[in-house]
C-alpha cells in the first residue's frame, strides 16, 4: 500500500514538473512574441516619425519656396587673382516678380553690388569677392518704395580659400628628443600632411621652411623646400639647441603658396614644468594652419 502511494506521489510530482516546464515554455514564447511585437511597433513608429518629419520638411521647403522672392539663381566662380586676392563670382538671378522699375543688388557685408538686367526677367553681375570673405550674400529687390531682402543660400562665397589654397592639415615631429647639459636635441623627421587636391587652380606650396623659436624669439631657420618635395612631406632634422629647463621651445612649419599666402603650423612644442635639467615635459600644440598675408599680417585675428 505504501509503495503504491509513493508511485502515485512520484507520478503527481512528474506531472507538476511537466506542467511547470510547459508553463515556462509558454511564458518564454509569450515573452518572445511580446518582444517581437514591441520591436515591430518601434520600427513602425520610427518609420511613421520619419514620414512625418519628411512631410514637415517638404512642407517647410515648399513654403520657403513660395515665400522666396527668387525664382532661380546661378553662380560661377573664376580663377583667383593672385595680385588682388579676389575671386570673380558671376551671378545670374531671376526674381519671381519683375516690374519696369525693379532693381536688384547683392549685399555682401558692408558692400552693395548692383545687378544689370540682361533679359526680360534675368539680372546678372560679376563681383570680385575677397578670397577670405566671411560674409553671406543677400539679394535686395527694390520695386518702387519697397525693398525686400533674402539670403542667397545657393551662393557660396564664404570659406573660399579652402577651394583655392593648399592647406596644412597636420604637422608633427617623430623621432628622438633629448635634453642633456643645457642642450635640447632633435633627431628625427618633421612630417607634414598637406591638402593640395581638388583645388580650383591646382595651387601648391612653392617654399617650405622650418623655424625654431626659443621663448618666442626665432633662433634658427632652414629652407626645406627640396626635402619636402622629394620626401613626400617628410623633412629630416638633426639639430641641437641651447636652452634652459625653464625655456619654451617650438618648431614651426612655414609654407608659402603660389598666391604668396604664408601658412604657419606649430609642429613641435617643448616646455619645462620642472627645474630638473633632465626632466623636460613635452607639450605638442595643435594650433592648425594659421594664414598670413604676404606682408606678414595675420588673415584671421
pLDDT of residue 284: 41
pLDDT of residue 57: 55
pTM over 0.75: no
Judge whether residue 191 has pLDDT over 60. Answer: yes
Q: Which of 5-9, 25-29, 193-197 has the highest mean pLDDT?
A: 25-29
Confidence band, pLDDT 50/70/90 cuts, at residue 4: low
The separation between CA 257 and the C-alpha centre of its own chain, rounded to angstroms, equals: 21
What average pLDDT is seen over the chain? 83
pLDDT of residue 32: 80
Judge whether residue 280 has pLDDT over 60. Answer: no
pLDDT of residue 55: 61
Q: Which residue has the higher pLDDT, 251 or 179?
A: 251
pLDDT of residue 272: 56
For the record, the C-alpha cell of 203 comes out as 595651387
Q: In the chain, what percentage of residues exceed pLDDT 90?
A: 51
Separation CA 186–CA 193 (nearest Å): 20
103, 114 contact by CB (below 8 A): yes
141-161 confidence digits (pLDDT tens): 998 888 999 999 999 999 999
**Bridge partners (DSSP) listed for residue 116:** 124
Q: Which residues contact 209 (CB under 8 A, 6 or more apart)?
A: 221, 222, 223, 224, 225, 253, 254, 255
Separation CA 250–CA 213 (nearest Å): 5
Judge whether residue 285 has pLDDT over 70. Answer: no
SS3 280: coil
For the record, the C-alpha cell of 132 comes out as 577670405
Judge whether residue 278 has pLDDT over 50. Answer: no
Residue 54, number of CB atoms within 10 A of its CB: 10
pLDDT of residue 221: 96
Region 187-216 average pLDDT: 84
pLDDT of residue 250: 92
Region 209-224 average pLDDT: 95
pLDDT of residue 115: 94
100-121 confidence digits (pLDDT tens): 889 999 999 999 999 999 988 8
Region 130-135 average pLDDT: 95
Q: Which of 169-183, 211-225, 227-241 has the highest mean pLDDT?
A: 211-225
Separation CA 50–CA 257 (nearest Å): 47
Of 62-66, 110-114, 194-198, 263-267, the one with minimum mean pLDDT is 62-66
Judge whether residue 257 has pLDDT over 60. Answer: yes
Judge whether residue 64 has pLDDT over 90. Answer: no
227, 106 contact by CB (below 8 A): no
Q: Which CATH class is domain 70-158?
A: mainly beta
DSSP 102: -
Pick the CATH number of 165-292 from 3.30.1330, 3.90.1200, 2.60.40, 1.20.272: 2.60.40
Amino acid at each position: 500500500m505504501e509503495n503504491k502511494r509513493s508511485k502515485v506521489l512520484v507520478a503527481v510530482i512528474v506531472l507538476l514538473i511537466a506542467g511547470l516546464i510547459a508553463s515556462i515554455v509558454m511564458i518564454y514564447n509569450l515573452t518572445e512574441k511580446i518582444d517581437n511585437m514591441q520591436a515591430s511597433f518601434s520600427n513602425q513608429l520610427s518609420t511613421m516619425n520619419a514620414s512625418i518629419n519628411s512631410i514637415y520638411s517638404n512642407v517647410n521647403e515648399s513654403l520657403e519656396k513660395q515665400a522666396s522672392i527668387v525664382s532661380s539663381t546661378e553662380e560661377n566662380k573664376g580663377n583667383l587673382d593672385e595680385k588682388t586676392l579676389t575671386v570673380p563670382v558671376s551671378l545670374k538671378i531671376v526674381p519671381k516678380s519683375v516690374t519696369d522699375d525693379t532693381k536688384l543688388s547683392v549685399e555682401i557685408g558692408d558692400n552693395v553690388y548692383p545687378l544689370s538686367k540682361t533679359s526680360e526677367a534675368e539680372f546678372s553681375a560679376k563681383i570680385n569677392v575677397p578670397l577670405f570673405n566671411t560674409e553671406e550674400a543677400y539679394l535686395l529687390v527694390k520695386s518702387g518704395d519697397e525693398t525686400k531682402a533674402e539670403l542667397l543660400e545657393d551662393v557660396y562665397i564664404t570659406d573660399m580659400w579652402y577651394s583655392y589654397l593648399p592647406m596644412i592639415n597636420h604637422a608633427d615631429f617623430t623621432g628622438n628628443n633629448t635634453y642633456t647639459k643645457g642642450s635640447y636635441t632633435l633627431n628625427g623627421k618633421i612630417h607634414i600632411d598637406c591638402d593640395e587636391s581638388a583645388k580650383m587652380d591646382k595651387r601648391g606650396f612653392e617654399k617650405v621652411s622650418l623655424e625654431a623659436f626659443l621663448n618666442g624669439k626665432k633662433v634658427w631657420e632652414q629652407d626645406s623646400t627640396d626635402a619636402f618635395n622629394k620626401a613626400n612631406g617628410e623633412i629630416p632634422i638633426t639639430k641641437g639647441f641651447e636652452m634652459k629647463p625653464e625655456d619654451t621651445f617650438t618648431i614651426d612649419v612655414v609654407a608659402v603658396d603660389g598666391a604668396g599666402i604664408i601658412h604657419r603650423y606649430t609642429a613641435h612644442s617643448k616646455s619645462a614644468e620642472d627645474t630638473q635639467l633632465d626632466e623636460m615635459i613635452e607639450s605638442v600644440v595643435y594650433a592648425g594652419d594659421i594664414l598670413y598675408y604676404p606682408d606678414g599680417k595675420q588673415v584671421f585675428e
